């Protein structure tokens, strides 16, 4: 398996000029694209329509290049919010069979999958946890990875809109957190990160003793199912990429970033991209000091935490 990653800056959510230039130059074969992970400049909240706008633009463009059927097979994951020094861009992953004379080595492999659509009452519930776990197993098998070899699992999951929330007693914004929590626990279940104790509905997004060290979950209004990709290192890779992973224990944990880089075995000058997921510490403190991100009524704490972690 040969995986490549093309990082392409964007001037706007509908800017595909960089992608088109790579395709026209023959640098990127569009038939090899299996996933696009993008960072858009919206607010990252319920009403962030830049994600859907970017996704629609990509689908329309690749539908013309590849045909609508082939374009729909690609996993599109748009994450909103480029606060602070973050910059809007696309990460285009390509996968192709190894050349006959290629020498396999320890390196990056990748698998993708998607779940069925979820009903509003399933989003953030145990049904979602179990369904995501099954889909993660599919992506692992496609990549040729064992669960313990997975370094990073990215999921785009749905949320419950106000018109769908009747009788569910939660806001659309709360449903984003519930959806991310259920998706992350689905990853934890698939990868064996959870213990043998049974999970109950009230644990999702509320019991911080159970979590995944590998999952990155992003919720949005632009889809009703989950789209997933799994990254890990394995001996059947023939590309030039490798992945390293570490857990940030707080939003200023620079040591964890150095550790993730060191885990690749490559110099920092060779970094293509760093994918990080964070939010404000729910305890209201960081390194023993009080923070006010959770109390700000004007700006979502997720926006503040993205700016902090992006700067780190």
Q: Is 59 tagged catalytic? A: no
Which listed residue (39, 113, 156, 216) is catalytic?
156
Strand partners, 230: 111, 153
In the residue annotation, 72 being an active-site residue is answered as: no
Which position among 79, 172, 218, 305 bears the catalytic label? 218
Pick the closest to residue 245 from 236, 235, 232, 234 (CA basis): 232
The residues assigned a catalytic role are: 156, 218
């Amino acid at each position: 398996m040969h995986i490549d990653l093309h990082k392409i800056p964007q001037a706007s959510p509908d800017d595909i000029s960089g992608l088109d230039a790579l395709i026209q130059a023959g640098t990127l074969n569009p038939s090899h694209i299996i996933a696009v992970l993008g960072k858009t400049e919206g607010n990252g909240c319920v009403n962030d329509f830049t994600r859907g706008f970017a996704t629609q633009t990509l689908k329309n463009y690749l539908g013309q290049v590849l045909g609508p059927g082939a374009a729909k097979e690609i996993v599109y994951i748009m994450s909103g919010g480029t606060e602070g020094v973050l910059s809007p861009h696309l990460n285009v992953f390509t996968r192709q069979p190894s050349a006959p004379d290629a020498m396999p080595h320890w390196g990056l492999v990748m698998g993708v999958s998607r779940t069925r659509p979820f009903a509003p009452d399933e989003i953030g519930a145990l049904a979602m946890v179990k369904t995501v776990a099954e889909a993660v197993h599919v992506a692992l098998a496609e990549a040729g990875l064992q669960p313990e070899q997975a370094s990073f699992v990215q999921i785009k999951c749905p949320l419950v809109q106000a018109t769908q929330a009747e009788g569910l007693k939660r806001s659309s914004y709360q449903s984003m957190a519930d959806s991310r929590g259920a998706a992350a626990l689905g990853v934890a279940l698939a990868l064996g990160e959870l213990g043998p104790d049974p999970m109950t509905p009230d644990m999702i997004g509320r019991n911080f003793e159970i979590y995944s060290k590998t999952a990155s979950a992003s919720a949005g209004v632009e889809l009703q199912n989950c789209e997933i990709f799994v990254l890990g290192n394995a001996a059947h890779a023939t590309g030039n990429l490798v992945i390293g992973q570490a857990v940030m224990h707080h939003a200023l944990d620079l040591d964890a970033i150095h550790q993730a880089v060191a885990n690749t075995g490559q110099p920092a000058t060779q970094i293509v991209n760093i994918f990080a997921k964070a939010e404000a510490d729910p305890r209201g403190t960081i390194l023993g000091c009080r923070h006010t991100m959770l109390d700000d009524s004007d700006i979502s704490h997720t926006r503040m935490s993205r700016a902090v972690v992006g700067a780190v």
